[in-house]
Structure 1
């Protein structure tokens, strides 16, 4: 088998010059492309965020008690936190609040990682309940966008009454680029 081909100084310069002269694909600064080939799917296959986009990474968020006045320190049962659907809604509402602090919206979310614990009341992960909560924030009249998403069943979360934790990545074209 032949070894590597070594180019002389002039041939190497010519190869580099040709590569630099070739047109690069036209990519708009800060452009976000959502890839969804199956219109019936509730999530994207992918999201492409080009250089220059304003990107925000939201740490994993947990749900709040069903009674907003109840401090977490007083929660003593899963019933006070709700089922997977209710906890998903609560968690996504917290993400929405975090995004709003920096001028982002749920329509800017391009990726979610969802960690779901089995609900001991039903003995399994409630994927349908999680999707029902998800559908209240994505693919709606208020927010027709959806997001790329990974969902993981986990053995446990940071507290005994949490069934879900979600982290998010949001991206938007830089302000003033319109």
Structure 2
């Protein structure tokens, strides 16, 4: 009986590895391009990217709008992920820090979304697999020209 129990237990352990859970996402609904819940199994490779800020333009300045800065940051994130063998579809969590746009007097969430949906959402070539996401208005970032900073966590089975 002990041998049978040991064999069944060993078979169960080996099958559980074969049936490992995949990354699960729960869409927000209403077409909003985020997931409300992302569940990552323990055996997934997880990569944490530090906050990414707008890339400097050729003349050393920074793009002037939140949308342009968002696109620049997401292109940087995309390249960094690719260097790790990952894609934008592997992002499971995104945190966005937005500074009030001087011309609007508040964070430009609409401008952020215009840039974001070029990478996630309905735009041609945009990922349909979307991360869980939070967005915050903050008082400031390290440089006054920066309107946005984004950090992500990516995972892949």
> What is the TM-score with the length of structure 1 in the denominator?
0.73
Paired position in structure 2 for 1:89: 71
Higher strand share: 2
1:59-88 residue CA offsets vs partner (Å, 9 max, x unmatched) = 0000113x3x233xxx3xxxx422011111
Q: Matched residue of 1:45: which SS?
A: strand
Q: Matched residue of 1:156: which SS?
A: coil
**Quick one: distance in 1 between partners of 2:81 and 2:28?**
27
Whether the aligned pair in 1 keeps the contact of 2:52 and 2:150 (CA below 8 Å) is yes
Aligned length: 142
Paired position in structure 2 for 1:105: 87
Quick check: 1:121 aligned with 2:96?
Answer: no
Paired position in structure 2 for 1:17: none
Q: Matched residue of 1:118: which SS?
A: strand
Paired position in structure 2 for 1:70: 59
Shift in Å at residue 30 of structure 1?
5.7
Shift in Å at residue 124 of structure 1?
1.3
Paired position in structure 1 for 2:41: 50
Paired position in structure 1 for 2:9: none
Unaligned runs of 5+ in 2: 1-11
**Quick one: distance in 2 between partners of 1:121 and 1:37?**
31
Q: Matched residue of 2:107: which SS?
A: coil
Shift in Å at residue 97 of structure 1?
1.1
Shift in Å at residue 37 of structure 1?
5.1
